[in-house]
Chain A
Amino acid sequence: MLFNTLEFVVFFAVVFGFYCALSHRWQNRMLLVASYVFYGAWDYRFCSLMAITTIADFFISNALHESENEKTRRRWLLASISLNLVILGFFKYFNFFIDSAHTLLTNVGFEFSPVTLSIVLPVGISFYTFQEMSYVIDVYRKRITPAKSLSDFALFVSFFPQLVAGPIERSQNLLGQIEQPRRMTWDGWCDGATLFLIGLFKKVAVADVLAPIVEQAFSNPASHTPFSLLFALYCFSFQIYSDFSGYTDMARGIAKFMGFELMENFNQPYFASNITDFWRRWHISLSTWLRDYLYIPLGGNRYGTFKTYRNLFLTMFLGGLWHGASWTFAIWGSLHGLYLAVHKFMLDGRKPAEAKSNALLSLVKIVIVFHLVALTWIFFRAETFANSFAYLKGLFVAGGTNSFDADTLTSGFLAIFTLITLIDIPQFMRNDHCVMLKWPFPRRVLAFTALSVWLLLMRGTENAPFIYFQF
């Protein structure tokens, strides 16, 4: 059930109607049922999988909290992490590891027939698994006390607006809001509606419009001219951004309607002036998760220069693999790890440059960072290494002759231009995702009308699922 479908509109109307009428306790119970219905709409069988890890983590975290013995506490923590990673590993990485082992052993002369299974990846498993793991680790670190009610914890894990593609919430934020009565406000509704409209616009009028252009180029990069490949790469950079941040905006908007405040996941990442800044703005809930539960436990920057670089690289490498069971994702993550290490090396011993108002220099930095990031997207989007290298080759060495027609170039350009001028620049200037609501009435009406009309005009006929659902 995608947010941009009539099914979801009906689903949410029913849920919201009940939500307004019910008392706090019953709201939570109803939301839990609704979340499982929402998740079951993809594949009802995976509801039981989510329920198993939820129940296990609830009891483990309580046992962990009650135990004073450090050894026992560690065992409980290990049990929870093992359970979560085994399930995630089986569903997401089983075939990947088998295939990789097969390739490796074949290359060194051992022939064997690998056993691969036809496994369906449960939607959103990476998101809710990381959310549960952070909860148990936080209980272990005594940063939070465990949830008192199993149903509240289950709702924390399965809360439908952010269940399938994040943001990966922390218990300090979301669980607290679940446990306390919530108030709905007029301003909350306005913010929620604005965020939802912006998210819908990003998904339907930008990401879905760019998708066919990207598909055309990546399906056969060798046949396209370097200019076409560069254009398609820009298109993918904005497709993935609008697709994912659009989902987050819609999730946050839906939650705001009900009085919940989900964390920000994107903050105009393509306006980042260095790569570290990019990761403070892109998929914030994952980058902070990786920082808090991987980079810092690995040692962070506490054990010297080499280990800092190693930790950065390793964190981003695993971050890449989190996205998907493929070495192309690992390369994508490794490249970002390399960028971050190089940036750290460049900064070593120096403080980051003060943000001086040199607009031209800032713009140059933004353009450079954008292109560095765009290059890594090739590995993210391509399905195989061969495809990635064919794309890179085509980009830098003129080979193919296919180019996009004027209509395709215009629609791609217009989608990106509208996104940047109507949404990203105003949000960036005021550092406010609902900046439109603060504009004077005529400007506000014109902007919302433009968004709505553009949405109705550009809505593709494809209704493609969100890219991040596969992770």
Chain B
Amino acid sequence: MLRSSIFSFESLSGFSPRMPATVLSVLALVLLLEGVMRFIPADKLMPGKSRQSEMRFLKKELLDKSPEPAVLLMGSSRIRRAVNPRLLDQQLGLPEHSTLNLGLASGRLFEALYFYRENYDKLKSAKLVVLGIDEWHLSTGWRLGSVYELNAPWSERFAMSGRLRNQLVLDGLFSMRLKMRLLPNAVAVALGIRKPESPGLTVTDDYQVLPKARKTLPADIDPRRFHETIGTFYENFAIHPVMEGHVEAIAKLVKESGGQLVLMQLPNRAAYQREIERLKKDEFEQHVAAMSALAKRLDVPWYLYRDPSECGLDELSFQDYGHMTPEGAKAFTRFVAPLFKQHLQRR
């Protein structure tokens, strides 16, 4: 052992290490448990109302029924509610089931990327991919969701900062936080003790996926509710390059398949948009600037609709702050169809 006036190891003199049997045993048990958790696919555990379950639903109800998808719409529930696939097929002169609206409830861009990658063999036939952008999509402030927490690449986990990095690194090492708490329910379902939870979605005659029972509640258009929503979406607002990277990855895949990517931010209800611009103007403008720069860098078209009236929509076109009614969706579909047609023809 090196000894000097600086390095003397004197605190360790007489130190007698023992076999840390307890630590090793605990570690072995924890790792064993984690191993078992890793062995069980997340899909088997996730309850009905989860993004994974929605993805299964979309695959079964839309992908498997479409012989050759030509137009894909991906993003959150806002795009899901905004475009009527059957009407778009008609407007574009495409066969039925050519347009797939694959928006996910609170869907993040990583989830769109994940779904696109997982089903690439089927989806690569699409010649137009429209990615619905929401103002919280580039921010890491709002929750990232279990799909990301379970599947994010290590480089992205470490690229985050502060609490998020800690959380994602630990989630990468130990999936049990996300999986083990779902185990009792999954076992109960497997044993037939409980009925499997449904995703609560239904496919309309127009092949649009909608929540099963959705009523317009007065609270949905209450300005106080808008503030809650804005507070949620803009909490710890921070645009992160990793989130931009998900758009880049989607753009790369679409390019490889020979398709055209279009980025589109749908209009919100006018009253809600006014509140955003009053309360979170700086953040909103940051998002717009980041999206414009990203679209320019990727050389893809980017459409931002701040005012619903420019798309032929009014207050009655919205069910809440930004989800369209079926009638609103029809109006919006008719509005975007010529635009999509242009992009399909330009290819």
Contact = CB atoms under 8 A, between A and B. Distances in A.
A186 B17 contact: yes
A181 B14 CA distance: 13
Interface in A177-210: 181-186, 193
A324 B162 CA distance: 27
A182 B17 contact: no
Interface string B224-259: 000000000000000000000000000000000000
B176 A448 contact: no
Contacts of B6: 22-23, 26
Interface in B9-52: 9-18, 21-23, 25-26, 29-30, 33
State the majority secondary structure of interface residues on A: helix
Contacts of A186: 15-18
Contacts of B281: none
Contacts of A452: 26, 30
Contacts of A462: 163
A458 B170 CA distance: 12
A457 B181 contact: yes
Contacts of B14: 183
Contacts of A6: 165-166, 169
Contacts of A449: 25-26, 29-30
A456 interface: yes
B204 interface: no
B216 interface: no
Contacts of A185: 15
Contact of B177 (A26, A441, A456): A456
Contact of A456 (B7, B16, B23, B174): B174
A24 B10 contact: yes
Given A5-B163, A6-B169, A453-B176, A21 B7 contact: yes
Interface residues of B, number: 37
A445 B25 contact: yes
A258 B6 CA distance: 17
A5 B174 contact: no
Contacts of A444: 22
B8 interface: yes
Nearest to A25: B5
A259 interface: yes
Nearest to B144: A461
Contacts of B143: 461
A428 interface: no
B89 to A, nearest CB: 41
A279 interface: no
Given A5-B163, A186-B16, A259-B11, A441 B22 contact: yes
A459 interface: yes
B29 A441 contact: no
Nearest to A465: B163
By CB atoms of chain A within 10 A, which of B14, B15, B181 has the most?
A: B15
Interface of A: 4-6, 19-24, 26-27, 181-186, 193, 258-259, 441, 444-445, 448-449, 452-453, 456-459, 461-463
Given A20-B11, A449-B29, 19 more contacts: A6-B166, A6-B169, A21-B9, A22-B6, A23-B10, A24-B11, A26-B5, A27-B11, A181-B10, A181-B11, A186-B15, A186-B18, A193-B23, A448-B22, A449-B25, A453-B180, A458-B177, A461-B163, A463-B163
Give the top 8 A-B pairs by smallest Cβ distance, nearest first: A463-B163, A23-B8, A445-B25, A448-B26, A449-B29, A184-B11, A21-B7, A456-B174
